[in-house]
Amino acid sequence: MIEVKDLHVSFGANHVVRGVDMTVAAGECFGLVGESGCGKSTVLGAIAGRVKRWQGSITAAGSALRPERRTLAQLRLQQMVFQDPFGSLHPRHTIGRALSEPLEIHGIGDREARIEQALDRVGLPRRFRFRYPHQLSGGQRQRVAIARALILEPKVLLLDEPTSALDVSIQAEILNLLKDLRQQQGLTYVLVSHDMAVVAHLSDRIAVMQNGTFVEVAPRAAMISGDLSHPYTRMLREGSLGYRPTEKEAL
Amino acid sequence: MTTVPKLRAWLLTEDFTSARHARAHQAYLSWLRFSSNPLAFGGLAVIVLLTLIAALAPLVATYDPFAQDFSRALQAPSAAHWFGTDELGRDVYSRLVWGARTTLYIAILVTVIVGPIGFVIGATAGYLGGWVDTVLMRITDIFLAFPSLVLALAFSAALGPGIENAVIAIALTIWPPVARLVRAETLTFRHSDFVVAAELQGASTPRILFRYIVPLCAPSVIIRLTLNMASIILTAAGLGFLGLGAQPPMPEWGAMAAQGRQYLLDAWWLTAVPGIAILIVSLAFNLLGDGLRDILDPKHG
Amino acid sequence: MAEPLLSVRNLTVEFPSLHRIRPAVSGVSFDLGREKVGIIGESGSGKSTCGRAIMRLHPGRTRITADRMAFMGQDLLTLPERQMRAIRGHRIAMILQDPKYSLNPVMTVGEQIAETVILHERLPRRAARLRAMEMLEKVHIRDPERVMRLYPHEVSGGMGQRVMISMMLIAKPALIIADEPTSALDVSVRQQVLAILDELVTDSDMGLLFISHDLNLVRSFCDRVLIMYAGRVVEEIAAADLDRAQHPYTRGLLEALPSLTEPKDRLAVLRRDPAWEVGA
């Protein structure tokens, strides 16, 4: 579904992504983990079209993407869900307006029914469409953001830390929702997160990034059992399990 | 009897049943916040009163503002002439009432011209960035570099005296700060997630400018323009005072004050009355602007 | 030692506002000795408010009441502001989530540490510099000479947090209140900062109040855990026994957490019971 070959991204003198290759099959969930500044969000941004300057090649559903310009059809194919549910919705647009915008842009009719269906799918009451974002909780806003991404019926959902701004109990609800939606609609996910447990929960395969490159791509089972080859991956995994007093000697 | 509390509850609930309900709720909340600020409320009351006076000038005025009667020249305020008469025997009160029209006409016309110009230039510069931003902002800087009254003076002197030219001259001095404000606001939203989300959905540049960025800049621009009303009125009065604004015999507060200057010692009301009117109206616009800031500006909410 | 370092009984914090009068913290009681106690809770549970209330760091109109809030025998509630200032930053230190906001942006790291040394130990400037260097070494900064010349925006998050810790160590506090000290840090750096805190509590005989939302972290780092919900402590349990927690909220949190070691197909969704808010 998505094929990335030798992707390089530089911001000025800062070479953020240094040669990334990845292939994501249709219906797969591909996870990207790494620490801050490793380039994981930049890779996602390049696929989404948010990052506009890159070298290499990205193909989505068989059509080659260009860095600067994309067709509406290419944009419609993949939609993004952002980290911060407070910043990703326009504060002066009602939920209904936020959901009808993408439909208007793409000239899709039957908007009323589609908006109601989208709210149903993410488990929000239909009357929420008259509300403004500030009248919703963080979890509800993230549901709206997911509904907005899905309303164009994309094949691919690009998830940029979709739960890291949420509390544990809300995170569980959103992760369940994402899992269900993928099953029901056969979506392909690319998930970026710093939280290894979250990535392992959703993803089939997980790429570990450090300094702009993949150090290891491991299947979910390996991440859970700890059968990993790269020391950096092992360190990340250990770290996400909690505090290890043995670290003291490592200092 | 129960309809009022029912209506209140309907307005206050967040469980909306329609888009109209949601808008009514927002409006009611804004009204509650606004009406809890007595100064802003006072400002609004004065402006509403001014608008009514201007609209109903023929009914409110007691005399024809142009009717000269030398036998009654320079009479002190009395029951017949509430604010006295001027050197040509015209009723000052009636001229003041008709002058409200001129004042409002100038203030509204300037605002209507300046608002869209400021929006388009500021939002385009802020959103597109790059050389567009540089060119537009340098032009703005050039206009900002002149003291506004001097610029207005130069323009109305060049274009010739008259109320339309005064409006153009004032507009030329008012738009640069508005454009700068819109640009600054646009920059804060430029890279926010909801704008990026719209871009990734394929929204065009004009769509993002007018449906995403302009609504967010609108509150601060409305506040700014309201606060500007006072300085528009003062500049218009200043131009009128210098003889470059409204031309006689048209009643205009600044020109009235200027003409009365020659009789200041004998007929204080000729300058004092329009002067006080200018003061009250500018103050009212300032108070209203501050009140609007409290309810509209999310940074203060 | 019979007297605990910090003893809190029935602490209630209220922010008077037009809309709600519900207290942010209500009826919180706990003792803290020379140990690591964690406070866990979701956003809005009042965990940070608790930490600030102990330091009396709240805006003027906040109402803090308690039957008892004693630190080493001193009643923190009735202490005059002058003496409170002497305790704050000296006997009780606080570490916040982002060191960038706690460091002065226009002074180098070295100057700021030396400033603190001069304030506390009344050393001459040259000696203060050496002492500052020593403090940085204590928090395992490898190249203290270089770090001392940096401005706060030039140091990474983990480094900044270590600088903050080194600064508060100069005063030799008896109690550290750490409010999400590692939430802004990467996994690798987090371990180091925690190890430093751990070492300090064990070696220097301090108490640590560790406020966090991260269950795994608190479970593995702290000795004892308080679980807060809607301003109340719903459960207090030894960190090692967290898996055997009784309260439905604690259990719900544990089950909602995705786990690397015990993968679940679906995460349990927390069903909130209004009874928890009134203290069941």
pLDDT in tens, B76-122: 888 888 888 888 888 889 999 998 988 888 888 999 999 999 999 99
Contact A92 B216 (CB under 8 A): yes
* C-alpha distance across the termini of chain A, in Å: 44
| Chains C, B in contact, 3 or more Cβ pairs below 8 Å | no
A201: left (phi over 0), alpha (psi -120 to 50) or beta: alpha
For residue C221, the chain A residues in CB contact (below 8 A) are: 242-243
- All domains in chain A, ordered by first residue: 2-89+155-250 (3.40.50.300)
Contact B19 A76 (CB under 8 A): no
Indicate if the pLDDT at residue B300 is higher than 50: no
ipTM of the complex: 0.89
pLDDT for position B301: 38
Looking at the partner chain, which of C42, C260, C263 has a beta carbon nearest the beta carbon of A237?
Answer: C260
Looking at the partner chain, which of C215, C219, C267 has a beta carbon nearest the beta carbon of A176?
Answer: C267
| Structure token digits, residue A115 | 């908006």
Do C50 and C212 contact (CB within 8 A), yes or no?
Answer: no
* C-alpha distance across the termini of chain C, in Å: 32
pLDDT for position C280: 46
Contact A102 B196 (CB under 8 A): no
- CA of B203: which chain A residue's CA is closest? A105
CA distances from B141 to B34, B48, B135, B222 (A): 35, 36, 10, 22
The residue of A97, A129, A130 whose CB has the most chain B CBs within 10 angstroms, and thus the best one to mutate to test that interface, is A130
Residues 6 or more apart in contact with residue C126 via CB below 8 angstroms: none
pLDDT for position C279: 59
Contact A87 B15 (CB under 8 A): no
pLDDT tens-digit series, residues B9-21: 888 877 777 778 8
For residue C194, the chain A residues in CB contact (below 8 A) are: 243, 247
pLDDT for position B2: 66
Using DSSP bridges, classify how beta strands C63-65 and A2-11 pair: parallel, antiparallel or unpaired.
Answer: unpaired
Residues 6 or more apart in contact with residue B178 via CB below 8 angstroms: B114, B115, B117, B118, B119, B122, B221, B224, B225, B228
The answer, for C124 touching chain A at a CB cutoff of 8 Å, is: no
Query: Which of helix, strand or coil describes residue C65?
Result: strand
Indicate if the pLDDT at residue B195 is higher than 80: yes
- Quote the CA–CA distance of C133 and B157 in Å, as a whole number: 71
For residue A80, the chain B residues in CB contact (below 8 A) are: 196-197, 200
Indicate if the pLDDT at residue C165 is higher than 60: yes
Looking at the partner chain, which of B16, B19, B200 has a beta carbon nearest the beta carbon of A75?
Answer: B200
CA distances from B281 to A165, A219, C131, C270 (A): 49, 73, 65, 59
For residue A244, the chain C residues in CB contact (below 8 A) are: 191, 220
Mapping DSSP onto H, E and C, the string for B202-216 reads CCCHHHHHHHHHHHH
> C1-81+219-280 belongs to which CATH class?
alpha beta
Chain A residues with at least one Cβ partner in B under 8 Å: 48-50, 70, 72, 75-76, 79-80, 82-84, 87-92, 94, 96, 101-102, 105-106, 127, 130-132, 135, 145, 148, 152
Chain B nearest C-alpha distance from A131 (Å): 7
CA distances from C214 to A195, C57, C98, C179, C254 (A): 11, 24, 16, 12, 11
pLDDT for position C19: 59
Query: Which of helix, strand or coil describes residue C248?
Result: helix
Average pLDDT over chain C, rounded to an integer: 85
Query: Which of helix, strand or coil describes residue C67?
Result: coil
The residue of A75, A90, A141 whose CB has the most chain B CBs within 10 angstroms, and thus the best one to mutate to test that interface, is A90
pLDDT tens-digit series, residues C20-29: 567 888 889 9
Supply the DSSP string of A133-175, one letter for each residue. Answer: GGGS-HHHHHHHHHHHHHTT--SEEEEESTTTTS-HHHHHHHH
- Calculate mean pLDDT across residues A29-37: 90
Domain spans, chain C: 1-81+219-280
Question: Which residues 228-267 of chain C have a CB within 8 Å of chain A?
Answer: 252-253, 256-261, 263-264, 266-267
Query: Which of helix, strand or coil describes residue A231?
Result: helix
pLDDT for position C127: 87
Supply the DSSP string of C90-142, one letter for each residue. Answer: TTEEEE-S-HHHHS-TTS-HHHHHHHHHHHHH---HHHHHHHHHHHHHHTT-S
Backbone angles phi, psi at C143, to 5 degrees: -120, 70
Q: Taking CA A192 as the corner, what is the angle to CA A187 and CA A198, rounded to the nearest 5 degrees?
A: 85
Name the more confident of C203 and C16.
C203
Looking at the partner chain, which of C43, C191, C198 has a beta carbon nearest the beta carbon of A239?
Answer: C191
Indicate if the pLDDT at residue A143 is higher than 90: yes
- Quote the CA–CA distance of C195 and A251 in Å, as a whole number: 9
CA distances from A232 to A205, B190, C185 (A): 17, 37, 16
Looking at the partner chain, which of A49, A83, A89 has a beta carbon nearest the beta carbon of B194?
Answer: A89
Poorest-confidence range of A108-112, A147-151, B28-32?
Answer: B28-32
**Which pLDDT band, with edges at 50, 70 and 90, does A199 fall under?**
very high
pLDDT for position B152: 83
- All domains in chain B, ordered by first residue: 42-296 (1.10.3720.10)
Looking at the partner chain, which of B193, B194, B200 has a beta carbon nearest the beta carbon of A49?
Answer: B200
Residues 6 or more apart in contact with residue A42 via CB below 8 angstroms: A9, A16, A17, A51
- CA of A77: which chain B residue's CA is closest? B201
Looking at the partner chain, which of B15, B196, B201 has a beta carbon nearest the beta carbon of A105?
Answer: B201
CA distances from B126 to B133, B172, B287, C103, C267 (A): 6, 21, 30, 33, 44
Residue from B182, B185, B211, B181 nearest B197 by CA: B211
Contact A172 C270 (CB under 8 A): yes
pLDDT tens-digit series, residues A68-105: 888 888 999 999 999 988 889 998 898 999 999 999 99
The residue of B200, B221, B296 whose CB has the most chain A CBs within 10 angstroms, and thus the best one to mutate to test that interface, is B200
Contact C187 A200 (CB under 8 A): no
Chain C nearest C-alpha distance from A169 (Å): 6
Average pLDDT over chain B, rounded to an integer: 86
Q: If you ran DSSP here, which 8-state letter would residue B173 be given?
A: H
Average pLDDT over chain A, rounded to an integer: 90
Chain B nearest C-alpha distance from A20 (Å): 22
For residue B216, the chain A residues in CB contact (below 8 A) are: 90-92
Q: If you ran DSSP here, which 8-state letter would residue C88 be given?
A: B
List the chains bordering chain C where 3 or more Cβ pairs fall under 8 Å.
A
- CA of C257: which chain A residue's CA is closest? A168
Contact A197 C188 (CB under 8 A): no
For residue A224, the chain C residues in CB contact (below 8 A) are: 260-261, 263
| Chain A / chain B CB contacts < 8 angstroms | 70
The residue of C136, C191, C262 whose CB has the most chain A CBs within 10 angstroms, and thus the best one to mutate to test that interface, is C191
- Quote the CA–CA distance of C161 and C149 in Å, as a whole number: 16
**Which pLDDT band, with edges at 50, 70 and 90, does B244 fall under?**
confident
Name the more confident of C1 and C82.
C82
Contact C259 A194 (CB under 8 A): no
Chain C nearest C-alpha distance from A52 (Å): 27
**Which pLDDT band, with edges at 50, 70 and 90, does A249 fall under?**
very low
